[in-house]
Amino acid sequence: MSQMFTLESLNSLPLPAFSAAIGDVFEHASWVADAAFGHRPFATVAALHEAMMGVVRASPPERQLAFIRAHPELGSKVKRLDLTADSQAEQGSLGLDRLSDAEFKTFTALNEAYAEKFGIPFIICVRRHTRDSILKEFRRRLDNDADTERKAALDEIALITRLRLVARVDGPGKPKTEGRLSTHVLDNVSGKPAKGVRISLYEIGASARSLLAEALTNSDGRTDQPLIAGGPLRIGSYELQFAVADYFAANGTAQSDPAFLDVVPIRFSIAEPEGHYHVPLLVTPWSYSTYRGS
């Protein structure tokens, strides 16, 4: 894990130490921190990040292009010795370093088509996407022109480095980088929160589904912790499953045999990685409803 610095301490460091502290936030580009150094002191973490991105956006086209090209392809099975620890962790968090043969073939074809058309690697903030979302963006962006894609690459680099900087620097004015998924179950028979409902959360992919979290509702009908928190939500499709028949049976509520509603599935999509998605369930043995709450 990288060392954590306070914004106050960064503002007081000499140039070599300042660059050593945050120079690797931008992929193979410590020159970004070197140039941002002259804009100190930074009042907020967001201002520090804006200054660093300002350096990148204002750099000569040739240097900017070389900087973009220094980023790795997605989904490569070749261990690149020059791959940064951050890039390894980001791709590994989505399993892009251990693709199946079919997935690897798909990523390879898209990487090659993109590089041939634009002359740069496809760049996306992996931590804000599911695999399905990345592949969708890959195909969509292949229809863009070169100028649009260079801008898109820089915008994604801004998202990537914002996450890296927030993990490295503690201080006032951090940019928003975290989303949250929560739920709440209300028993419409008793008119009270439903305690003891077993909940399972799945990511629904094009070829598979994976269990992300399991929880029981507490006396307030909520889970003790958000189902997802502590980072951006990944754009994609999800399903919440609520074991309502077991809940009503445990509470002595009359049901048919077998129960009309056993496990209630709610399938939904996340489009805002830094948003709060609250997916409540209002339920009886015979009916249910949901909505996006707050």
Task: Return the pLDDT at 77.
Answer: 56
Task: Return the pLDDT at 159.
Answer: 98
Task: Return the pLDDT at 96.
Answer: 78
Task: Return the pLDDT at 94.
Answer: 79
Residue 86 has pLDDT above 60, yes or no: yes
Burial class (CB in 10 A: 0-12, 13-18, 19+), 248: buried
Q: How confident is the model at residue 85 (pLDDT cuts 50, 70, 90)?
A: confident
Q: How confident is the model at residue 98 (pLDDT cuts 50, 70, 90)?
A: confident
Say if residues 236 and 127 touch (Cβ distance below 8 Å). no
**Mean pLDDT of the region 176-196:** 98
Tell me which residue of 81, 74, 78 sits closest to 127, measured CA to CA: 74
Task: Return the pLDDT at 116.
Answer: 97
241-291 pLDDT per residue, tens: 999 999 999 999 999 999 999 999 999 999 999 999 999 999 999 999 999
Type of residue found at 254: A
Task: Return the pLDDT at 26.
Answer: 96
Please give the Cα distance from 4 to 11 (Å, whole number): 14
Task: Return the pLDDT at 104.
Answer: 87
Comparing 189 with 72, which gets the higher pLDDT?
Answer: 189
Please give the Cα distance from 69 to 61 (Å, whole number): 12
Which domains does the chain possess? 5-170 (1.10.3330.10), 179-289 (2.60.40.180)
Written as six digits, the tokens of 243 are 């074991």
Task: Return the pLDDT at 208.
Answer: 76
Task: Return the pLDDT at 132.
Answer: 93
Written as six digits, the tokens of 166 are 């927030």
Task: Return the pLDDT at 93.
Answer: 80
Classify residue 208 as left (phi > 0), alpha (psi -120 to 50) or beta.
Answer: beta
Entry pTM: 0.91
Of the listed ranges 49-58, 90-99, 160-169, the one predicted with least confidence: 90-99
Task: Return the pLDDT at 76.
Answer: 67
Q: Which backbone phi and psi does 209 adopt, to 5 degrees?
A: -130, 145
Half-sphere exposure of 141 (CA within 13 A, CB side): 26
Say if residues 215 and 223 touch (Cβ distance below 8 Å). yes
Residue 82 has pLDDT above 70, yes or no: no
In eight-state DSSP terms, residue 13 is S
Burial class (CB in 10 A: 0-12, 13-18, 19+), 126: buried
Task: Return the pLDDT at 181.
Answer: 98
Task: Return the pLDDT at 80.
Answer: 54
The answer to whether the Cα torsion of 218, 222, 226, 227 is positive or negative is: positive
Of the listed ranges 63-77, 83-97, 137-151, the one predicted with least confidence: 83-97
Query: Mean pLDDT across the chain, nearest whole number?
Result: 94
Say if residues 123 and 153 touch (Cβ distance below 8 Å). yes
Say if residues 45 and 83 touch (Cβ distance below 8 Å). no
User: CA angle, 115 as apex, 68 and 88 as ends, to 5°?
Assistant: 55
Residue 1 has pLDDT above 70, yes or no: no
Say if residues 144 and 155 touch (Cβ distance below 8 Å). no
Please give the Cα distance from 12 to 64 (Å, whole number): 29
Please give the Cα distance from 19 to 37 (Å, whole number): 8
Tell me which residue of 164, 153, 133 sits closest to 73, measured CA to CA: 153
Task: Return the pLDDT at 258.
Answer: 97
**Mean pLDDT of the region 186-206:** 97
Written as six digits, the tokens of 113 are 């088509």
**Mean pLDDT of the region 154-182:** 97
The answer to whether the Cα torsion of 183, 186, 192, 197 is positive or negative is: negative
Residue 55 has pLDDT above 80, yes or no: yes
